[in-house]
Structure 1
Amino acid sequence: MNILLCSVGRRVKLVEYFKKELQKINGKVVAIDCDPTAAALHHADIYEVVPRIDDPEYIHHVKYLCNKYKIRGVISLIDPELPLLASYKEEFEKEGIQMIVSDKDIVDICYDKDKTYKFLQANKIPSIPTYAGIDRVRADLKKCKINFPLIVKPKNGSASMGIHIVSSIEELKVSHDKLQEYIVQPFITGDELGVDCYIDFHTKKATNIFIKQKLKMRDGETDKSISVKDPVLKQMIEKLIDALKPIGPIDIDCFKSSNGYVISEINPRFGGGYLHAHESGQNFIKNIINNINGNPNRQHESEYAEGTIMVKYDHFMFL
């Protein structure tokens, strides 16, 4: 079995995890990226440099590589590519290629932060108040439902790009003039947590739920974290998954404030902090291989130790 990893960027360790698992069954990792200096390319069994995902020929190129390398599964590691791959999911599956991505309507909910908020509200899941227009923000500021500081971020942002804090109406007006597609949220204080989940393709149930408290962030990714267990948060995550019905790996961000837990973002892909889950025995890659082979995975979400700490550090390559 060969698996194609798209837009691999700097995800070296994830590529190595796939490589290790696939070697057990004589499979290979094929990695692609539009940047020939993307570090993770050079750790795969095979790599190809491809057009950008917004190139009209991109999907055609992916199909060509799937046929060339006899690919059984395709996975993207970045948010902007997920809606594109989801749009072609059925087309690829007719050719025996499993697109490891949730359905398009699910991806659209997760990718658009305003839609995420509306989905969570409709399903009575605690979430951060989210505003898609300045008028509602002003109204709730006057009613003291929210207070400064506020966070302004792109509706379809990724990796914390474009996020900034505003502390006055004047600053908010400036942001409103500069950003066409944006949302506004109150600044939440409290512990930030990330939950790495795996949802089985066949049973549509979560086989893994790994909870970690984020100790340090860098460029929107978890840099340091400590594993925790919390039945209240776990129950909330299960409710979210049952309502959303995603498949495969999913990364959920949330905060624990004085009022309890609130969901911040839902990313239907491998999260940047997945390394912690994997090293704690939560092997999503093995699950993916089982699912591609038509086999369901058993539930073992509680099988990890509390109090383990993950610390990322920098390395380099000489090409």
Structure 2
Amino acid sequence: MTHTSAAPRAYNVLVTSAGRRASLVQAFKRATHARGARVFAGDASALAPTLYLADAAFRLPSVGSPDYVPHLLELVEAHDVGLIVPTIDPELGVLAAHAAAFAELGCKALVSHHAFVEISGDKWLTQQAFASHGLDVPQSWTPEEVQRKGLALPERLFVKPRDGSASRDTYRATPATLPDILTRVPNAIIQEELLGPEVTIDALLDFEGRALHYVPRIRLRTLAGESIQGVTIPDDDLGGWLEGLLAAAAKLGARGPITLQAFLTERGPVLIEVNPRFGGGFPLAYAAGGHYPEWLLALLAGEAVPPRLGEYQRGLYMTRYNVEHFTTELLWEG
């Protein structure tokens, strides 16, 4: 009698709110096709460019809709989706809150623990949480704290929304100009202005929180808050700090891809922001050796993925440009 074993599962991937994340979709296509699987892209807009690059495209409700999660669950079941990859901040809390429902269908929502999503979505909570783990963060104050205590503030300040993104509603300030600027910034946090190069770190943790990889880079030019020109930098003076930073993030609940930002100041690296998802500049990290899509699929398949800390190409530059796609037929109306 001949015995046969079931073939290993090929994990189809759904990139949600895929928008213009063309390089990310293409990276997952390479990884999935190598394993006999496919990549799907989902978005609310029929003109999202990634829809025309993926193996199949799906219309999604808005993230805030009560139909969003049920619709995703239907897609997971109908198309054997094994991994959902979110790309925008509003999705993270929703997917984290419903991760168990996706897991019941054999699908991994690529998102950190809900507690970490909440921490990273609030810059005040981010500063408090990482400071409690010994990481240097900017001196920070809430408007209420400043008004209540009448604090003596530094002469150079920076004001931004606690829940902001893409550098919107951000202002330099002094104690004299602060009252006026606070009227322009919703849900503000006040911080010391940091001086020095700003560094972005793309990193990957496995599903238990073990740090697998990182790529530090400098954003040389940004457009709407996204890196369009950048360069990877050495980790000679950052390696120990990065390992401690990722260990702290893991203890706080970080899992999968995360993007971190810090200033390299005279007193050392100072963490300013954490985003528990693929950053817009991830293509540079991928080109430098951070093949996170391949490693994530290997983790899903139960394969060993060893840490590769410090293994990336230094001094690799990225510059981006637009590419057009033309069609006479939209995938759907609206």
TM category (shorter chain) comes to over 0.9
Matches for 1:283-294 after TM superposition, within 5 Å: 283-294=291-302
Letter in 1 for 2:199: L
Deviation at 1:129, TM superposition (A): 2.0
Unaligned runs of 5+ in 2: 1-10, 328-334
Query: 1:214 aligns to what?
Result: 219
Task: State the identity %.
Answer: 28
Deviation at 1:139, TM superposition (A): 5.9
Paired residue for 2:91, among 50, 64, 81?
81
* Residues 201-229 of structure 1: CA deviation (Å, up to 9, x unaligned): 14x21111111122222211222222112
CA distance in structure 2 between the partners assigned to 1:226 and 1:30 by the alignment: 30
Query: 1:276 aligns to what?
Result: 284
Query: 2:109 aligns to what?
Result: 99
TM-score (norm 1): 0.92
CA distance in structure 2 between the partners assigned to 1:140 and 1:210 by the alignment: 41
Query: 2:314 aligns to what?
Result: 306
Matches for 1:29-48 after TM superposition, within 5 Å: 29-48=39-58
The answer (yes or no) to whether the contact 1:201–1:296 under 8 Å persists in 2 is no
The answer (yes or no) to whether the contact 1:134–1:176 under 8 Å persists in 2 is no
CA distance in structure 1 between the partners assigned to 2:320 and 2:148 by the alignment: 40
Comparing 230-239 and 117-126, the one that deviates more: 230-239
Query: 2:193 aligns to what?
Result: 187
1:8 aligns with 2:18: yes
CA distance in structure 2 between the partners assigned to 1:37 and 1:172 by the alignment: 41
CA distance in structure 1 between the partners assigned to 2:311 and 2:131 by the alignment: 31
Q: Evaluate the alpha carbon distance shift between residue 15 and residue 137 of structure 1 in structure 2; reply closer, same or farther with a 3 A threshold.
A: farther
Q: Evaluate the alpha carbon distance shift between residue 274 and residue 138 of structure 1 in structure 2; reply closer, same or farther with a 3 A threshold.
A: farther
Deviation at 1:136, TM superposition (A): 2.5
Letter in 2 for 1:311: T
CA distance in structure 2 between the partners assigned to 1:125 and 1:57 by the alignment: 40
Letter in 1 for 2:180: V
Q: How many residues align?
A: 314
CA distance in structure 1 between the partners assigned to 2:310 and 2:241 by the alignment: 15
The answer (yes or no) to whether the contact 2:169–2:184 under 8 Å persists in 1 is no
* Residues 246-278 of structure 1: CA deviation (Å, up to 9, x unaligned): 111111111112222101101111111111111
Deviation at 1:180, TM superposition (A): 4.5
* Residues 262-304 of structure 1: CA deviation (Å, up to 9, x unaligned): 0110111111111111111210001110111122311112222
The answer (yes or no) to whether the contact 1:75–1:99 under 8 Å persists in 2 is yes
Q: Evaluate the alpha carbon distance shift between residue 193 and residue 179 of structure 1 in structure 2; reply closer, same or farther with a 3 A threshold.
A: closer
Letter in 2 for 1:72: G
Unaligned runs of 5+ in 1: none
The answer (yes or no) to whether the contact 2:158–2:173 under 8 Å persists in 1 is yes
SS of 2:274's partner is strand
Query: 1:153 aligns to what?
Result: 160
Q: Evaluate the alpha carbon distance shift between residue 224 and residue 180 of structure 1 in structure 2; reply closer, same or farther with a 3 A threshold.
A: closer
The answer (yes or no) to whether the contact 2:130–2:248 under 8 Å persists in 1 is no
TM-score (norm 2): 0.88
Query: 1:223 aligns to what?
Result: 228
CA distance in structure 1 between the partners assigned to 2:150 and 2:34 by the alignment: 57
Matches for 1:108-187 after TM superposition, within 5 Å: 108-136=118-146, 142=152, 144=153, 146-148=154-156, 150-167=157-174, 169=176, 171-187=177-193
Pick the structure with greater CA Rg: 2
Matches for 1:16-31 after TM superposition, within 5 Å: 16-31=26-41
CA distance in structure 2 between the partners assigned to 1:76 and 1:296 by the alignment: 24
